[in-house]
Chains A and B, each alone.
Chain A
Amino acid sequence: MFKNEEMEINLGPQHPSTHGVLRVKLRLDGETITHCKPIIGYLHRGVEKICENQTFFQGQVWTDRMDYCSAVANNLGWAEANEKLFGITVPRRAQYIRTMLNEFNRLASHLIWLATHALDIGAMTVFLYAFREREDILDLNEAFCGSRLTTTAFRIGGLREDLPPGFEKMARKFLAKFETCLEEYENLLSENRIWKKRTIGVAKLSAEDAIALGVTGPVLRAAGVPYDIRKAFPYAAYAEMDFEVPTQTAADTYARYLVRMAEMRQSARIVQQCLDGMPEGPVMAKIPKILKPEVNEVYHATEAPKGEIGYYLVGEKGSTNPYRFHVRAPGFINLQCLPKMAEGALIADIVAAIGTLDIVLGEIDR
Chain B
Amino acid sequence: MNQPTALEQILITTKVEKVMNWSRATSVWPVTFGLACCAIEMMAAGASRFDFDRFGAGIFRATPRQADLMIIAGTVTYKMAPTIKLLYDQMPEPKWVIAMGSCATAGGPFDSYHTVQGVDKIIPVDVFIPGCPPRPESLIYGFLKLQDKIMTSSLADRYKDIFEEVG
Where the two chains meet, the residues of A that have a C-beta atom closer than 8 Å to any C-beta of B are 13-16, 20-21, 41-47, 49-50, 61-62, 65, 68-69, 112, 115, 127-129, 131-132, 134-135, 138, 148-150, 361-362, 365
Looking at A65, A134, A365, the one whose CB has the most chain B CB atoms below 10 A away is A65
13 contacts between A and B (CB under 8 A): A14-B64, A15-B62, A20-B34, A20-B36, A20-B39, A46-B112, A50-B109, A50-B111, A65-B36, A128-B47, A131-B48, A362-B36, A365-B77
Report whether A45 and B77 are in contact in the complex, using a CB–CB cutoff of 8 Å.
yes
User: Which secondary structure dominates chain B's binding surface?
Assistant: loop
Report whether A44 and B114 are in contact in the complex, using a CB–CB cutoff of 8 Å.
yes
Q: List 12 extra interface pairs beyond A62-B109, A69-B40, A150-B133, CB under 8 A.
A: A13-B80, A14-B87, A16-B62, A42-B80, A46-B114, A50-B109, A65-B37, A68-B40, A132-B47, A135-B48, A149-B40, A149-B41
| Residue tally, chain B, CB below 8 Å to A | 34
Residues of B near A46 (CB, < 8 A) are 110, 112-115
Report whether A49 and B113 are in contact in the complex, using a CB–CB cutoff of 8 Å.
yes
Minimum CB–CB distance for A313 against chain B, Å: 19
Residues of B near A65 (CB, < 8 A) are 36-37, 109
Minimum CB–CB distance for A238 against chain B, Å: 26
Bound complex: CA of A47 vs CA of B112, how far in Å?
Answer: 8
The chain A residue with its CB closest to the CB of B41 is A149
Does any Cβ of A come within 8 Å of B43's Cβ? Answer: yes
Report whether B114 and A45 are in contact in the complex, using a CB–CB cutoff of 8 Å.
yes
Report whether A21 and B80 are in contact in the complex, using a CB–CB cutoff of 8 Å.
yes
Other-chain residue from B36, B83, B111, B135 in contact with A14 (beta carbon distance below 8 A): B83
Minimum CB–CB distance for A9 against chain B, Å: 15
Other-chain residue from B31, B40, B49, B111 in contact with A132 (beta carbon distance below 8 A): B49
Minimum CB–CB distance for B102 against chain A, Å: 11
